[in-house]
Every structure is written in structure tokens, then in C-alpha cells.
Structure 1
Amino acid sequence: MTTHRTGGFTLEPYPGLPLTVRDVGAGRPVLVLHGGGGPATMAGVVDHFAATSRVLAPTHPGWEDTPRPEWFSDVGDLVETYLDLLDDHDLRDVLVIGSSFGGWIASEMTVRDRGHRIGGLIIMGAFGPEVEGHEVRFPTAPPGPPPGEGPGAPAPRRGPSPAALQALVAYAGPSKSDPKLLYRLARVTVPALAVWGADDTVVPPDFGRAYAAAIPGARFALIPGAGHLPTREAPETAFAAIDDFLASIGR
């Protein structure tokens, strides 16, 4: 069952699992997948693409006080749910954009895309594969608010909520990685871009370079002055890199 509302809808892909999806704009479809910091970290990405595209931005079950059944407990569950979302809505040539944990989901979706629904992949500060010699360091608190939010603005929540953190641990496992993913990335056949903040201390740029090198033909864009969330911390430069990539592939 799907319940529609202004700016989005809620569906129940499995019994007891409501999934909230923001749905804005019109045009070629874009799927936006957030990381541990939640949907707010991708608000600028949604707004950027909604001017020219139809943007679907689900909230992963367990974030923003949404329920997550105990059995819904690994990255594969999210991957299959979002691939089903593309199938059920008959979406084609979908650009999938994932940040941090969302980049792991996006990459795995593209690997498993047997229905050839996905037409492009963008990952930003993503983790997921094991890269020898390059450690991922998870912060105790996320970066501060983006530029332009003054001292009078409400203070952002410092890190994922306890429920979201519990969900992240359930999905990602204790190692927060998949040792086979780096090899499976060779199956990706769509144009791909890896966007990395030059000052990312969570997932270092060399990790990102290795990630991109594992995807055939993928490009790597280093964003000066940005950390783990380049579209928030250096939006002009990050979106210029993304738009240049999309223009080069005819999107």
C-alpha cells in the first residue's frame, strides 16, 4: 500500500516496514541516499536536482524515528528495497547519488542492478569496501552546520540519534565494511563519479581514490576545503564537479 502526500509518499514494501520517500521535481529520475547524519545532510543535493529532475529521497528505516523491524538488518535489505522501488515505479536511467553510508548502498545497488534501471552513479565520502592500508574513522559527532547558518539558527543534532546509530550498526555490521565489495565493483557498467573532500578525516581521499579505481571508468573529484560532506562544506565546487560530470555523460 502506498500513501501519497504533498512532497512525497509512504509505502509498505514488506509487512511492518513503512518506508518514507521524499518525491519532488520532475524529469529524469534521481535517487538520493543519505548517510549516518540522516536526510538533512542531503537536503542541498535534493534541492539542486529538483530544479531539473524528479528526485526520490528515502529515509532509511531507523532514521528520523522511523521503525526498523529486527529482521531488516543488513545493507542487502536496503539495496533490494530500493531496487524494488525503482522497479515498482518503472523508473529508468536513474542517477543514484549516495553519501557516506548511502554511498555504500548506492554502489551495491549498481552492482546488483539486473534490471538495468540505473544509468549513473555518484558516491561522496562513501565507505563499504575494505581498502588495505586505508582506515575509515567514524566520528563521535558530525561536521557543524553548513555555511550561512548563523548563530541564531537552531543547533543541529550532534550526530545520529541513538535509534539511527543502532540502525547503522545493524546494517553495516561490526566491521562497517564488506570485504567482497571492492571486487564486485568491477561489475559496474554505468558512468560513475567519486566526490571526496580533500580534508575528509572520516573516509580519507586515498580510500576514495581506491574506491573509484575499482569501478571501471570512474572519475575522481577532489574538493578543496571540504571534509566528509562536500556538498554542504564546499557546495559551489562540489556541485560544479557533479554538473560537469553529468554534462559529459549527456545528463
Structure 2
Amino acid sequence: MTTSVTFQVPGARLPAHLQRHPSSELPPLVFLHAGVCDHRLWLAQLETFAAERTVLAYDRRGYGGVEIEQAAPFSHLADLWAVMDAAGLSRAVLVGCSLGGRLALEAALDRPERVAGLFLVAPAVNGVPAPELDAQEQAMDAAADAAYEAGDLAAANEALAALWLDGPSSPAGRVSGAARALFLDMDDRMLRATPPGTALEAEPSWPRLEQISAPTELLWGDLDLGYFFPRCEAMVARIPGARGTVMPGVAHLPSLEAPEAFNTALAAFLAGLPG
């Protein structure tokens, strides 16, 4: 049964999608969304993989439908463990995109016994050197910032869609239809969200990638920002046993714009996990 639930954490209420499989012994999937989205980034994956195992996706503080009861210092990592505990998930495969990938890496280093695998989509990484944007990417990023500072949230939303959904080398509007409409709604909620308070930093992950013990695969789109190519390649080389896949024809959010191809890649990763 599909269930919309809300998890209480200190100072906030986090809406989520939790679908329990009645009999599966496969490790659950916990989906961690990108910073321009919310848990609805994973709707196509939740529907597909609920047929074989328990699935969970939730909104982090500052996104989606989160209710901030008290703005105060908080930890995304502590929230993840609290959500998994409340859902009764002692161990799970973490599927994280962008900032969600950063959180997945932090979790795998913090409590490796609770992470059965990592499927990382163009991940951010705590402690990685600042990325170098090319001229086009800098201009698009600056346009989004300028629109936000001017209070023109609609223009900021469209600028972020051009950068992160379409990709900096693609024409604005490359991704259309339901995927674009959903992105614009998710991103609009992020732009208008109540400030959640100061996010406490976890220990940097970048210097410790060699310590990751969970089976790991990285996936990134060939239309994404350029710095993800060397970053992901370096991570594949440094994380023990990691594999890397470049998905053609997509930018930063392949699970949204190409869900069938993404699901095929994720299913292949899951099939290769130790029993």
C-alpha cells in the first residue's frame, strides 16, 4: 500500500512516501533528492521498485512540504538516521542525487553497517575542492542568483531549470511536458521554503572516499555541468570497487527526464549486490 507519512524530527516535520513490501527480504531503498527538488524527484522509481522491496523517499529541511516548527541548528545526517529509525529500516541501499548523493556518502562513512549499497547520481561531496564552471555555466548560475536576489522567483526558477534540468550546453526548454512542470513546482517550493536554520556540517567525505565499504555505482548525464565528469571519474577510481556510468542524452536529473533508462541502470546495480 502506498502511504504518505510525516516524520517528526527535532524542530521540523518531514513529509515522505513510504511503501512497505509485505514479504520482501531485499534491502529497502531510501531515495535522497537533489537540492533543486524534493522527494517527488523519485516518483517513477518509487512506483517501479515498490513491486519488489520497501521504498522510502522524504523531503529534507528546506524543501518540499517540510514544516519548520523551530529554526535551529540541525543535521541532515541525524535526520536521515531518525527517519530510517522511525520507518523501522535498520539497513538500506541509498540512492542519492546531487546534494542527496552528498548525504548518502556521509551516511556510508558514518554508519557503514546501515548502508547496503550506494547508487550516486552526479553527487555533491562534502569537502571536495570548489568546482570550476565554464563561462556559460557561470553566466547561467549568475542569472539565477540575480533573479533570486531581485525577488523574481519565477525568473530564478526558469534559470535553474535551464541550468540543472536542461543542462548548460542545451537550449532552454529541452526538457518539456510533465517532467518540466514537476521540476518547476519542486524548485519553486525550494525557493519559497521557510529557512530551516543552520545545517551542521558532517566530517568531510572527499578525503575519506577510500574508506567506503558499501558497493557503489556512480551515474552522471552527458549533458550535465562539465565538472561532474572529472569528479565522478575520480570518485570511481578512489572508492573501492566502484563503477561509473555516463547516461547519454540527459543532464543533472536523469531519474526525472529519463525514468525508464534510469530504472534499468538502478535495477542492474541492485541485481549485482551481494545476497
Read off the aligned partner of 1:127 and give its amino acid letter.
A
- Separation in 2, partners of 1:87, 1:179: 22
2:123 is aligned with 1:126: yes
1:145-164 to 2 correspondence within 5 Å?
Answer: 149=177, 156-157=183-184, 159-161=187-189, 162-164=191-193
Residues 155, 220 of structure 1: CA spacing in aligned structure 2 closer, same or farther, 3 A cutoff?
Answer: closer
Map of 2:265 onto structure 1: 241
- Separation in 2, partners of 1:135, 1:164: 28
Read off the aligned partner of 2:7 and give its amino acid letter.
L
What secondary structure does 2:96 align onto? strand
- Separation in 2, partners of 1:207, 1:17: 33
Higher helix share: 2
What secondary structure does 1:228 align onto? coil
Read off the aligned partner of 2:217 and give its amino acid letter.
L
- 1:34 CA displacement: 0.7
Q: Which moved more, 1:31-40 or 1:5-14?
A: 5-14
What secondary structure does 2:28 align onto? strand
Residues 189, 154 of structure 1: CA spacing in aligned structure 2 closer, same or farther, 3 A cutoff?
Answer: closer
- Separation in 2, partners of 1:49, 1:238: 12
- Select the structure of larger CA radius of gyration: 2
Give unmatched runs, 5+ long, in structure 2.
Answer: 145-158, 167-172
Map of 2:83 onto structure 1: 85
- Separation in 2, partners of 1:121, 1:189: 10
2:9 is aligned with 1:13: yes
Could you tell me the TM-score, scaled by structure 2's length?
0.72
Residues 41, 210 of structure 1: CA spacing in aligned structure 2 closer, same or farther, 3 A cutoff?
Answer: same
RMSD after superposition: 3.3
Query: For this pair of structures, how many residues does the alignment match?
Result: 236
What secondary structure does 2:244 align onto? strand
1:50-65 to 2 correspondence within 5 Å?
Answer: 50-65=50-65
- Separation in 2, partners of 1:203, 1:104: 15
Residues 79, 132 of structure 1: CA spacing in aligned structure 2 closer, same or farther, 3 A cutoff?
Answer: closer
2:221 is aligned with 1:197: yes
Map of 1:100 onto structure 2: 98
- Separation in 1, partners of 2:247, 2:228: 12
- Separation in 2, partners of 1:229, 1:25: 26
Contact 2:73 2:200 in 1 (8 A): no
Map of 2:71 onto structure 1: 70
Could you tell me the TM-score, scaled by structure 1's length?
0.78
Map of 1:32 onto structure 2: 31
Contact 1:9 1:22 in 2 (8 A): yes
1:182-193 to 2 correspondence within 5 Å?
Answer: 182-193=206-217
Contact 1:203 1:228 in 2 (8 A): no
Contact 1:146 1:233 in 2 (8 A): no
